[in-house]
Amino acid sequence: MSRDLEDQILEAHAQHDQMSLVTLYQKAGRIAEQDGDIDAACFFWTHAYVFALEQAHPARDDLHARLVTYGRET
């Protein structure tokens, strides 16, 4: 994960900005997936999914599907 993305995530946590956290963790997951690190990708998508669930964010179904695909969610 880039330093810039990490800073954005930390700032979103500090602001309790769950909607941004969904987007940022989604992005972190995609980058990890592109790098071939599926465990890291699922770690980030898990965070995105949890915040999406909490906020009824429209990305929750897509995130759930991704986690199911990699056997990380039911």
Least Å distance, CB 50 to other proteins, is 5
Per-residue mark of binding to other proteins, 4-43 (x: CB under 8 A): -----------------------------------xxxxx
* CB contact at 8 A, 29 and 39: no
CA distance 65 to 49: 10
- Of 5, 23, 46, 62, the one binding other proteins by CB under 8 A: 46
CB of 8 or CB of 21, closer to other proteins: 21
Which residues neighbour 12 within 8 Å (Cβ) at sequence distance 6 or greater? Answer: 18, 20, 21, 24
